[in-house]
Amino acid sequence: MSEMTVDTPRGGAGTRALVAAGIGRRYRAERRFRLFGLVAIVSALVFMVLLFVSIVGKGYTAFLQTEIRLPIHYDVQTIDPQGLRDPVEMRRANYGKLYRDALHEMFPDVESRGDRRMLNGLVSSGATFEIRDHVFADPALIGKKGEVWVPASDDVDMLVKGNVDRNSPEHERRMTDKEIAWIDALAAQDRIETRFNWRFFTQGDSREPELAGIWGAVSGSFLTMLVTLVLSFPLGVATAVYLEEFAPKNRWTDIIEVNINNLAAIPSIVFGLLGLAVFLQFFGLPRSAPVVGGLVLTLMTLPTIIIASRVSLQSVPPSIREAALGLGASKMQMVTNDVLPLAMPGILTGTIIGMGRALGETAPLLMIGMVAFIVDVPHGFSDPATVLPVQIYIWADSAERAFVERTSAAIIVLLTFLILMNAAAVYLRSKFERRW
Amino acid sequence: METVTVRDAMQTTLDNRLAEGDATPMPAKIQARQTNVHYGDKHALKDVTLDVREGEVTSFIGPSGCGKSTFLRCLNRMNDTIDGCRVSGTVQLDGEDIYDPKIDVVQLRARVGMVFQKPNPFPKSIYDNVAYGPRIHGLAANKDELDEIVLTSLEKAGLLAEVKDRMESPGTGLSGGQQQRLCIARAIAVNPEVILMDEPCSALDPIATAKIEELIDELRENYTIVIVTHSMQQAARVSQRTAFFHLGELIEVGDTEQIFTNPKHKLTQGYITGRFG
Amino acid sequence: MPLSLLLLVLAVLSAFAYRFGTGRARAIAPGRQQATLHSRPTYHGFYVALWCGLPALLVAVAWVAMQPILVKGLVLAGLPDSYSALPEARLNLIWNDIRNLALGDVVRAAPAPEIQAAAETFRRLYTIGQAALAVLCLVLAPLGARYAYGRVSRDLRARNRVETVITVFLVASSLVAIFTTIGIVLSLLFESLRFFGKVPPLDFLFGLHWSPQTALRADQVGSSGSFGAVPLFTGTLLISLISMCVAVPVGLMSAIYMSEYAHRKFRAVAKPLLEILAGIPTVVYGFFAALTVAPFIRRLGESMGISVASESALAAGLVMGVMIIPFVSSISDDVINAVPQAMRDGAYALGATKSETIRNVIVPAALPGIVGGVLLAVSRAIGETMIVVMAAGLAANLSFNPLEAVTTVTVQIVTLLTGDQEFDSAKTLAAFALGLVLFCVTLGLNIFALHVVRKYREQYE
């Protein structure tokens, strides 16, 4: 054997036979290897699909909310006994009594205190404020009767949406048989319906899942992102321009460069610690404020923008620079008039990607108190606020079953924003991409 | 000037061949018929019909971009690795069409080895570089056989004496000429029938070039060799037959002696006398 | 006047100043004579605008930075003497009360009268400060503009002046990154040193027991929590290890398949899809891990008769691994593409199959780069926060069993710092010490990995 392989000149049958003998095994290994690669990609994609399906499947129902139609009697005695129409007095009136009376009227045979409380619990406590708002919007209603849709409590909502199994033993579910019977009775009168959940998009946070909305968090995210964009874009572009176009290549700029690369890889939570120690403790800026969140996210996003901008500036060919300088432009004029406009699409793409990352960032904002429970929608940069991802985190931590659905819905909203931003980046890149 | 040196080189080759009594033509090892190559829209090789004879060195010459390397890469289907490359016509090795779907490219390349323009040793030890081919093809039954193949191949490539004390040091640490001979040893270790060389000396200095040329002449005894070169002197020195390519076409092929002393085609004459190229 | 309004007014004033500047320059050299100006009119405009806006802006920034410190000093000095003897931590709490009271936030019922008085002082000083700043800025801006306007002339080197200001801005911007790093190092170091004043560093780094509950009163039992961070380190390592077991093979094999096997059309679809994984916020992964993956693993374990903690390290690690896949695969892709084609050709010409070429030639050649990339991925896994906060446990178990709940450094930082507590307790300071460890480890990994990757790239350039 050895003689054939080593000493046969001009190839020869021996070598050929040996090669042929191994070929089947080698091709099997080849196919196996290729399959591993395919399996790797497919499993990653399957995981992604599972994630999306699971979240959309859990979350889409939150865009609908179960409501109950009640025949409300806008009782003068309750709302405005003196008949003065004084807004201060009227605001203090017990509007909850109105819907409780309506419920009691519909189910007169519910007598015991416990049962009465259970019955009233079908309707969300938020109904009180909605009825009040109706009265304030149209004071002529006082003394009249009218059908009003009010939000049902989260437990009713879950039952109607089928998230609670009616057939499970009574002690294993949050709804008693009695409550289910009432709900069925209401349903039989067409008094229960799932309607579009506008509260989810217009309200701030709430302890009651059926009243909780993302508007507060979306506003907070918007304000925070505005601060981040206003600070990080000029700073990032300026740094990139300086390092690419003006800085001498020496130790000092080397340090800056290494430093930026390392900043890009520092865990985001460390930026949160920085924000806590420097912005809150040292400078005494307010906790939970979008301005502080924006500052922290700026520091975190800067490296991304700087690196993307530098790459974009590098791709502008030197001939353009030489042409501008040759015509007598100053270096600054060359940069602002010729180089920057050409590099701008790449810089914008990098900025959008950086902003997308900042929009989804949670950990550093927990450090600066944006995790507080905040009901009011923020209107200024120093109002206490939270942001969408943190809202998701807060809801994910809540015990109520109904918050799972809200959390998933908030995730759908967040992902929609991110997808839109990324689509914009992809569009920019494909529209303005230039090959030199 | 140019023609004179070429003639001189010719004369020595002719003398050698006469001394060896090697005047009768050898049978064809590779037969290309109407071979065309397209890279995307580009028609890179047009209707080439050519025989490569067994036991001889055939050289391809021509100005750069003339298709000589492309044709060389057709002979062991290295063009398969390039996206958008299509080959039509037939190329036969020992009468078998190598583009036949039944032909296995792995087995084909075990029979037709290749050495590249730039030495490309793997980032492994010298030993592992040479042992790579025999290992993947399963040519050695045990370590002793493998050792023997490696040593013989290095010996044939004329490198053994220089590296026998440092078989475990990385192949990338050798000089350019040594790296190229290592690559030749690597190709020999698979015991091929044909060795294709794509400008094997273009990255080397004159001394290393001379060594490789010497080596090619020795290897001719056991292997059929096809060499692409841009140096006419080299073609004249090492080859028995020469093919001249121009703009993707095979202009003329014949005995090296005849091509350099009495070219039939005007283009060939223009090229070898240095009027263009 | 609120700060944002003030800034807006300054911007508007500067815009007017720009108009005046250009107008003046054009008046000096009308029409054809423009060429006799040293700088074009727009530069004169910018020159005047900068003199208008910049001094006022600098004053405003300095004022905003200084005012809280001054106000705090003045208000605390105004408190009765009994307060000045209080320890600093206590004083800080009182300061918070005063501030909350003054700014109209909800505070404890019925604050002491001296506190209320102090809040009143605070409010007064605050209002005075804001008003003074507004007046100062609104005086400075026109003054600056007037001065610059008077200097506009044929010979004014307005362009050079403006360019100098821009250059200063550029240099200052590039220093922000440096100051960020310095800020991180100093704040972490400073707070950690205070922590190490209370807990010896060796106890922290090598202690085996972690329970940071400090008592509120000094006389309570177990008032000093124990701060042995080893269980956190092992927990972090365990979860990172699990995530690497997912991310490295899957990421590497995907990269190999994409760059060596996949059809162009397949790649065009699959690659952006994989990159979506990198764009999903970590809080979403955390939610998925806690709500879907962890219960699934638990049920799976139960069906096989193995007890699995509901917050098992496995669930968090798996999901984290998936998050890191695109990172590993994009770095591997870069690294594999950097291997010269000649290397591939050499192997193919010997008759190697594709997988033999990849396994025996490409991957060994790319190994340093791949190792560097994996180290970067490890540093990501160590620093990742939300997934573990939501899906890993809080209890510091010293365990290497992936089915048990373990906690990590980042989880503890978050738990120690969210919720109400005083800033100076050992508990909060411990978070900074953990942050310091996290920073040092990830920085070390990054520097080393980037160095390896760069060396690798140079080899093939």
Residues A262-286: pLDDT tens digits? 898 899 999 999 999 998 888 778 8
Judge contact between C235 and C314, C-beta under 8 A.
no
C-alpha to C-alpha distances, C118 to C65, C104, C444, nearest whole angstrom = 21, 14, 48
In the numeric block, the tokens 């594999």 are attached to C336
**Is the pLDDT score of B15 beyond 60?**
no
Provide the 3-class DSSP secondary structure of residue A69: strand
Q: What is the pLDDT of residue B1?
A: 41
Domain membership of residue B217 as a residue range: 2-120+192-272
Q: Where are the domains of chain C?
A: 3-156, 226-459
Q: How does pLDDT run across C66-95, given as a tens digit for each residue?
A: 887 788 888 877 777 777 777 766 777 777
- Angle made by CA atoms A395, A52, A388, in degrees to the nearest 5: 35
Q: How does pLDDT run across C88-135, given as a tens digit for each residue?
A: 667 777 777 777 777 665 555 566 777 778 888 888 888 888 888 889
Extract the tokens encoding C271. Answer: 């690659």
Q: Which residue of A has its CA nearest to B195?
A: A10
**Is the pLDDT score of A9 beyond 60?**
no
CA distance A278 to chain C (A): 7
Q: Which residue of A has its CA nearest to C359?
A: A33
- List chain C residues with pLDDT less than 70: 1, 88-89, 103-111, 213-224, 419-424, 461
Extract the tokens encoding C153. Answer: 């002339």
Identify any residues that bridge with B170 across adjacent strands, giving them in sequence order: B125
> Do A318 and A375 fall within a single domain?
yes
Which CATH number fits the domain C226-459, given the four candidates 3.30.390.50, 3.30.365.10, 1.10.10.10, 1.10.3720.10? Answer: 1.10.3720.10
H-type alpha helices, A62-213: 76-79, 87-92, 96-106, 113-120, 127-137, 154-160, 177-188, 198-202
- CB-CB under 8 Å, B138 with A18: yes
Residue B220 DSSP one-character state: T
Distance CA C62, CA B93 (A): 84
* Chain A environment of C175 (Cβ under 8 Å): 256
Q: Which of B115, B118, B133 sits opposite C351 (nearest CB)?
A: B133
A208 C-beta neighbours (distance < 10 Å), count: 15
CA distance C165 to chain A (A): 11
- CB-CB under 8 Å, B116 with C350: no
Q: What is the pLDDT of residue B148?
A: 93
In the numeric block, the tokens 């699971």 are attached to A54
Q: Which residue of B has its CA nearest to A5?
A: B139
Identify any residues that bridge with B42 across adjacent strands, giving them in sequence order: B39
> Do A117 and A17 fall within a single domain?
no
Judge contact between A239 and A263, C-beta under 8 A.
no
Distance CA B217, CA B239 (A): 8
* Chain B environment of C354 (Cβ under 8 Å): none
> Do A178 and A222 fall within a single domain?
no
Which of C205, C223, C206 is closest to C214 using CA atoms? C223
CA torsion A174-A180-A182-A186 (nearest 10°) is 110
- Contact residues, A window 55-84, toward C, CB-based 8 Å cutoff: 55, 58
> Do A121 and A19 fall within a single domain?
no
Q: CB within 8 A of C369, min separation 6: which ones?
A: C331, C334, C335, C338, C452, C453, C456, C457
Q: What is the pLDDT of residue A401?
A: 82
With b meaning 16 or more CB within 10 Å and e meaning fewer, what string describes A236-253?
A: bbbbbbbbbbbbeeeeee
- CB-CB under 8 Å, A256 with C174: yes
Domain tally for chain B?
1
> Do A326 and A395 fall within a single domain?
yes
Q: Is residue B28 part of a domain?
A: yes
* Chain C environment of B187 (Cβ under 8 Å): 349-350
CATH number for position B211: 3.40.50.300
Number of CB pairs, chain A paired with chain B, less than 8 A apart: 60
Percent residues over pLDDT 90 in chain A: 37
Q: How does pLDDT run across A125-136, given as a tens digit for each residue?
A: 888 888 888 888
Judge contact between A324 and A334, C-beta under 8 A.
yes
Judge contact between B210 and B179, C-beta under 8 A.
no
CA distance A25 to chain B (A): 10
Q: CB within 8 A of C153, min separation 6: which ones?
A: C28
What pLDDT band is residue A8 in, cutting at 50, 70 and 90? very low
Strand B241-246, strand B57-61: pairing: parallel
Judge contact between C221 and A4, C-beta under 8 A.
no
Distance CA A390, CA A403 (A): 14
Q: Is residue B231 part of a domain?
A: yes
Average pLDDT (A7-16) is 61
Number of CB pairs, chain B paired with chain C, less than 8 A apart: 68
Q: How does pLDDT run across A232-245, given as a tens digit for each residue?
A: 999 999 999 999 98
Domain boundary, last residue among A202, A237, A266:
A202
Which chains are within 8 Å of B by 3+ CB pairs? A, C
**Is the pLDDT score of A152 beyond 60?**
yes
Chain C CB within 8 Å of residue B138 CB:
no
In the numeric block, the tokens 């699909």 are attached to A49
Chain B CB within 8 Å of residue A3 CB:
no
Complex prediction ipTM = 0.90
Chain C CB within 8 Å of residue B106 CB:
yes
Domain boundary, last residue among A162, A177, A202:
A202
CATH number for position A368: 1.10.3720.10
Q: Which of B55, B137, B193 sits opposite A18 (nearest CB)?
A: B137
**Is the pLDDT score of A419 beyond 50?**
yes
- Contact residues, A window 365-394, toward C, CB-based 8 Å cutoff: 366-367, 371, 380-381, 389-390, 392-393
- Contact residues, C window 52-71, toward A, CB-based 8 Å cutoff: 65, 68-69
* Chain B environment of C346 (Cβ under 8 Å): 116, 120-122, 183, 186
Which of B198, B201, B107 is closest to C350 using CA atoms? B107
Q: What is the pLDDT of residue C63?
A: 86
- Angle made by CA atoms A343, A344, A348, in degrees to the nearest 5: 125
> Do A267 and A295 fall within a single domain?
yes
Chain C CB within 8 Å of residue A350 CB:
no
Average pLDDT (B154-164) is 90
What pLDDT band is residue A390 in, cutting at 50, 70 and 90? very high
Provide the 3-class DSSP secondary structure of residue A376: coil
* Chain B environment of C361 (Cβ under 8 Å): 122
Domain boundary, last residue among A202, A234, A266:
A202
For B151, counting Cβ atoms within 10 Å of its Cβ (0-12 exposed, 13-18 middle, 19+ buried), the class is middle
Q: Is residue B176 part of a domain?
A: no
Domain tally for chain A?
3
For A198, counting Cβ atoms within 10 Å of its Cβ (0-12 exposed, 13-18 middle, 19+ buried), the class is exposed
Chain B CB within 8 Å of residue C356 CB:
yes
- CB-CB under 8 Å, A273 with C188: yes
DSSP notation for C325-358: HHHHHHHHHHHHHHS-HHHHHHHHHTT--HHHII
* Chain A environment of C390 (Cβ under 8 Å): 393, 396-397
* Chain B environment of A26 (Cβ under 8 Å): 106, 136
* Chain A environment of C176 (Cβ under 8 Å): 235, 239, 299, 302
B231 C-beta neighbours (distance < 10 Å), count: 16
- CB-CB under 8 Å, B140 with A5: yes
Q: Which of A29, A396, A414 sits opposite C390 (nearest CB)?
A: A396
Which chains are within 8 Å of A by 3+ CB pairs? B, C
Extract the tokens encoding C366. Answer: 């790319």
Q: Which residue of C has its CA nearest to A359?
A: C281
* Chain B environment of C343 (Cβ under 8 Å): 120, 122-123
Q: What is the pLDDT of residue B2?
A: 44
Measured on CA atoms in the order C340, C342, C343, C347, is the torsion positive or negative?
positive
Extract the tokens encoding A278. Answer: 């420097």
CA torsion A378-A384-A387-A393 (nearest 10°) is -130
- CB-CB under 8 Å, B133 with C340: no
- CB-CB under 8 Å, C344 with B123: no
Which residue, among A4, A18, A19, would best test binding to B if mutated, counting the most B CBs under 10 Å from its CB? A19
Which residue, among B93, B137, B194, would best test binding to A if mutated, counting the most A CBs under 10 Å from its CB? B137
Domain membership of residue A13 as a residue range: 2-60
Q: CB within 8 A of A133, min separation 6: which ones?
A: none
Q: Is residue A209 part of a domain?
A: no
- CB-CB under 8 Å, B132 with C345: no
Number of CB pairs, chain A paired with chain C, less than 8 A apart: 251
Q: Is residue B105 part of a domain?
A: yes
CA distance C356 to chain B (A): 8
- Contact residues, B window 184-203, toward C, CB-based 8 Å cutoff: 186-187, 190
The chain-wide mean pLDDT, for chain B, equals 86
